[in-house]
Amino acid sequence: MGQDGRHRRARSTITDVAKAARVHPSTVSRALSAQPGHILRPETRARVVAAADRLGYRPSALARSLRLRRTLTLGMLVPDIANTFLAGIIKGAEEAAHERGYALVLCNTGDLPEREATYIRVLREREVDGVLVASTRMADATVDGMRADRFPFVLVNRGAGGTDDLVVTVDNIAAAAAVVDHLVSLGHTRIAHVAGPRSTTTGAERAAGVVAAARRHGVHAEIVEAETWSEAEGYRAASQLFRGEPPTAAFGANDLLALGVLRAAREAGLAVPADLALAGFNDTPEAVLADLTTIHVAQEEMGAHAARLLIARLEGEPIAERNVVLAAALVVRGSTAAGIVRRRIA
Amino acid sequence: MGQDGRHRRARSTITDVAKAARVHPSTVSRALSAQPGHILRPETRARVVAAADRLGYRPSALARSLRLRRTLTLGMLVPDIANTFLAGIIKGAEEAAHERGYALVLCNTGDLPEREATYIRVLREREVDGVLVASTRMADATVDGMRADRFPFVLVNRGAGGTDDLVVTVDNIAAAAAVVDHLVSLGHTRIAHVAGPRSTTTGAERAAGVVAAARRHGVHAEIVEAETWSEAEGYRAASQLFRGEPPTAAFGANDLLALGVLRAAREAGLAVPADLALAGFNDTPEAVLADLTTIHVAQEEMGAHAARLLIARLEGEPIAERNVVLAAALVVRGSTAAGIVRRRIA
DNA sequence: CCACCAACGGAAATCGTTTGCGGTCTCGCG
DNA sequence: CGCGAGACCGCAAACGATTTCCGTTGGTGG
């Protein structure tokens, strides 16, 4: 190992290999890339390969991308890496991308439109082949820009109103309605919904699902809109809710909001599920931990699906569905258990 | 915007801008990069700038990197994106990197050495300027390789035995000892430690801290080594522990292991903290949720610190400490509360 | 023995930037 | 009016790969 300990060893280039193997650089290229059209004498190829790994040669992806006009890289915009729901999506996307030889560059937008715009600019300067966007708003200038430029992108989890976009989501309306159905079946008639921001499709659709289902059952649903998707906002919204006569059931538009409601409920002395039935959305690890009834979303599959869809678009493969709606299922846990007085965890 | 709706608009290059502004490409380059040495007639510069944004010109980071021999990109190897502890580190690293104009490419190794090797190869082909490694083992061929090539890297969270590496960690021995001190102070004398894999510095050091502290207090510490850092392994290890006479206190080498122990305890009918005091390590969001006593680690700071250290190394800035040890603090929560009979969560 | 063809591999152009070098122009001063 | 000093900016050579286009071999069939 590194016997030239002194200074950083220079990267060897295709020319170095060519010299070492006494062939032309073009021959090195042919020997190393297993393209079908390349016919090389086995002996020549062997000599090149030998020289290549004697020198520890690694082709420069930079130079190759410049010439080939593609980087085999995908960008991905997420509102928050530390959100476990998104982490699942990212993981699925990363693996699917890697499987097809693409790398993934992650960008944390913090759900801020201007950071989103900045990152898209950076990604496009870096010439990523396409991007996965998990942080869209409904009216989103960044997405409009990509649409206008016909720059390849896929929307994940949240849509953006456009009818022609490639999108991977779940059926939010049906899922939210399923939660309400479940709560009503337990006998609840005063249901609160802590909605996500209406500026996002997920927030708007889930609230719409709640409203529709409530109307169908003839029960009252009170909607409070949170400003962000965070636990803190769930707490804030719930504290406000509990000031008056508290509802008997609450449904957070995602698990974090529901956990915020849980914290507020505990502080208000409301026991879950005895005094307040509680449900969330996404089925993150936290939901499992808090024994929270929620909607299960196949996170990794969602990410993987989105990545594969984008790659299919990039490679010009036929696209079966432009608008993929994954199945989501109600998972009933202790937080809405009927007849159970109290459960303990710790 | 995009009035040529038909086909993908070709990216405009520096040459296009040069033509449009009736200058040489080199002049465009000078006009657009605010280097101190470049003297341009204001009028010329204005003409170039105008042409550039009329054409929506964006310099190709690819071509620039090729020429400049640096990509302003960092790679980062993590065992699992979906792990909230790592998510915090990643977030901190990503932000610090972005602040200094670097992008971050994430790679999920799944804690598998061969995937680690593959990813390092990919990253180096892409000519990232350096990498952050959060998934090292103690004897790690990949790290050895980078050391030998003098390729810039920083180890985060886990070290790798090398004395000369750039490393950002916490004082695992002291922190683990603090947990034992705390448990002993509550009167526990039969303490179990579910250790992380000894092949990692974190696993080995925390176990060592436990052993040392136990000896110092003259109490018995039983060590069970988990094979991975997962909740499932914690559960498995604990189930095994509980077969005989169960200990009165258990300490998981990270929060996930501790949560696994919690699940096993519940199944074994042991109440926490009444029958079993429980502690973890890292202070992840899950620990807060489960009201788990743990060691607080400043995750984002750790990631940010590591990124800044790497960038300092890359830019040839002076490096104060090669081996940064961040402070960690014991956070006492309900899972080790003295005198509390039972707490409920849901 | 010659012609022809396939197989092989060299030369050079290209991808989009940056930058050292030096040419031209403008100005001010003697 | 001549000359030197800057100022400004064009030229061309990199950076490291891929690929098209040919020229050269060597073998084979007539």
Residues with CB under 7 A from strand D: A 11, 13-15, 25-26, 28-30, 32-33, 35, 57-60, 62-64, 66-68; B 22-27, 30, 39-41, 43-45, 63, 66-67, 69
Q: How do residues A70-90 score in pLDDT, each as one tens digit?
A: 999 999 999 999 899 999 999
Q: How close does chain B come to A48, measured CA to CA in Å?
A: 19
Best mutation target, B146, B313, B345, to test chain A (most A CBs within 10 A): B345
Q: What is the pLDDT of residues A254-283, one digit of tens each?
A: 999 999 999 999 999 999 999 999 999 999
Give the list of residues 6+ apart from residue A286 with CB closer than 8 angstroms, or none: A84, A255, A256, A259, A292, B285, B286, B289
Q: Coil, strand, or helix at residue A216?
A: helix
Q: What is the mean pLDDT of chain A?
A: 91
User: What letter does residue A259 receive in the DSSP assignment?
Assistant: H
Average pLDDT, chain B: 91
CB atoms < 10 A from the CB of B184, how many? Answer: 18
Backbone angles phi, psi at B257, to 5 degrees: -60, -45
b/e per residue A214-241 (b: at least 16 CB within 10 A): beebebebebbbbebbbbebbbbbbbeb
Q: What Å value separates CA B44 and C1' C25?
A: 15
Search chain A and give the residue with CA nearest B346: A272
| pLDDT tens-digit map of A309-336 | 999 999 999 999 999 999 999 999 999 9
Closest residue of B to A105, CA-based? B105
Residue B108 half-sphere exposure, CB side, CA atoms within 13 Å? 23
- B158 to chain A, minimum CA–CA distance in Å? 20
Chain-chain contact of A62 with B60 (C-beta, under 8 angstroms): no
Percent of chain A with pLDDT over 70: 94
SS3 readout for chain B: CCCCCCCCCCCCCHHHHHHHHCCCHHHHHHHHCCCCCCCCCHHHHHHHHHHHHHHCCCCCHHHHHHHHCCCCEEEEEECCCCCHHHHHHHHHHHHHHHHCCCEEEEEECCCCHHHHHHHHHHHHHCCCCEEEECCCCCCCHHHHHHHHHCCCEEEECCCCCCCCCEEEEECHHHHHHHHHHHHHHCCCCEEEEEECCCCCHHHHHHHHHHHHHHHHHCCEEEEEECCCCCHHHHHHHHHHHCCCCCCCEEEECCHHHHHHHHHHHHHCCCCCCCCCEEECCECCHHHHHCCCEEEEECHHHHHHHHHHHHHHHHCCCCCCCCEEEECEEEECCHHHCCCCCCCCCC
Nearest beta carbon to residue A108 from set B62, B94, B346: B94
Q: With an 8 Å Cβ cutoff, are A84 and B82 in contact?
A: yes
Looking at residues A179-192, what average pLDDT do you find? 96
Q: Quick one: tokens of B196?
A: 């992380």
Read off the DSSP letter of residue A336.
Answer: G
* CB neighbour list of residue B149: distance below 8 Å, 6 or more residues apart: A2, A8, A9
8 Å CB contact between B195 and B209: no
Tokens of A166: 């490639």
Q: End-to-end distance of chain B based on CA atoms, in angstroms? A: 53
Which residue's entry shows tokens 């004498």? Answer: A41
CA distance A107 to chain B (A): 8
Q: Encoding tokens for residue B274?
A: 């009444």
How would you class B162 by CB atoms within 10 Å of its CB: exposed for 0-12, middle for 13-18, buried for 19 or more? middle
Q: What is the pLDDT of residue A138?
A: 82
For residue B247, give both structure tokens.
Answer: 């200990």
Nucleotides of strand C under 7 angstroms from a protein beta carbon: 7-12, 14-20
Flag if B103 and A122 touch (Cβ within 8 Å). yes
Q: Is B32 exposed, middle or buried (0-12, 13-18, 19+ CB in 10 A)?
A: middle
Mark yes or no for CB contact A87/B66 under 8 Å: no
- Domains, in order of start, for chain B: 1-56 (1.10.260), 72-170+298-327 (3.40.50.2300), 172-297+330-336 (3.40.50.2300)
Residue whose Cα is closest to the C1' of C19: B26
Per CB-CB distance under 8 Å, the chain B contacts of A90 are 81-82, 106
B10 is written with which tokens?
A: 């070709």
> How confident is the model over B258-276, as pLDDT tens digits?
999 999 999 999 999 999 9
Q: Tell me, in Å, how far CA of B29 is from C1' of C29?
A: 35
The Cα of A183 is separated from the nearest Cα of chain B by a number of Å equal to 17
CA distance B135 to B220: 31
Q: Which residue of B has its CA nearest to A2?
A: B148
**Number of A–B residue contacts, CB under 8 Å:** 163
Identify which of A1, A125, A262 has the shortest CB distance to residue B148: A1
Share of chain B above pLDDT 70, in %: 95
Q: In this predicted model, what pLDDT tens digit does every residue of A119-171 receive, in sequence order?
A: 999 999 999 999 999 988 888 899 999 999 999 999 999 998 777 999 999 99
Query: Closest to A2 (Cβ–Cβ): which among B7, B73, B148?
Result: B148
Please identify which residue in the block is written with the tokens 């920083």: B154
**How close A24 gets to chain B, by Cα (Å)?**
22
CB contact under 8 A, B62 and A66: yes
Strand C contact at CB of residue B60, distance < 7 A = yes
Tell whether the model's pLDDT for residue B7 goes beyond 80. no
Residue B26 has pLDDT above 90, yes or no: yes
3-state secondary structure of A325: strand
Contacts 24+ apart (CB under 8 A), A231-234: A231/A256, A231/A257, A231/A259, A231/A260, A231/A263, A232/A260, A233/A194, A233/A257, A233/A260, A234/A194, A234/A258, A234/A259, A234/A260, A234/A261, A234/A263, A234/A264
CA distance B156 to B139: 15
Q: Which residue has the tokens 């705390």?
A: B182
Q: What pLDDT score does A35 carry?
A: 74
pLDDT at A57 over 60: yes
* Tens-place pLDDT, residues B76-133: 999 999 899 999 999 999 999 999 999 999 999 988 999 999 999 999 999 999 999 9
pLDDT band at residue A5 using 50, 70 and 90 as cut-offs: very low
Whether residue B342 has pLDDT greater than 90: no
**pLDDT digits over B158-209, tens only?**
998 877 999 999 999 999 999 999 999 999 999 999 999 999 999 999 999 9
Q: Quick check: A229 pLDDT over 60?
A: yes
pLDDT of the residue at A338? 66
Q: Is the CB of B57 under 7 A from strand C?
A: yes
Strand-pairing partners, residue A238, are none
Of all residues in chain A, what percent are helix, strand and coil, respectively (each to 5)?
A: 45, 15, 40
Distance B28 CA to C21 C1' (A): 18
Strand D: list positions under 7 Å from protein Cβ: 7-12, 14-20
Question: Which position has the higher pLDDT, A92 or A40?
Answer: A92
CB-based contacts of A178-182 (< 8 A; 24+ apart in sequence): A178/A295, A178/A330, A179/A210, A179/A251, A179/A279, A179/A281, A179/A293, A179/A295, A179/A330, A180/A209, A180/A210, A180/A213, A180/A214, A180/A217, A180/A219, A180/A221, A180/A251, A181/A213, A181/A217, A182/A279, A182/A293, A182/A330, A182/A332, A182/A336
Return the amino acid letter for A319: I
Beta-bridge mates of residue A73: A103
Q: Are A169 and A301 in contact (CB under 8 A)?
A: no
Q: Closest residue to C12 by CA to C1' distance? A: A26
Torsion region of B218: left, alpha or beta (phi above 0 gives left; psi -120 to 50 gives alpha): left
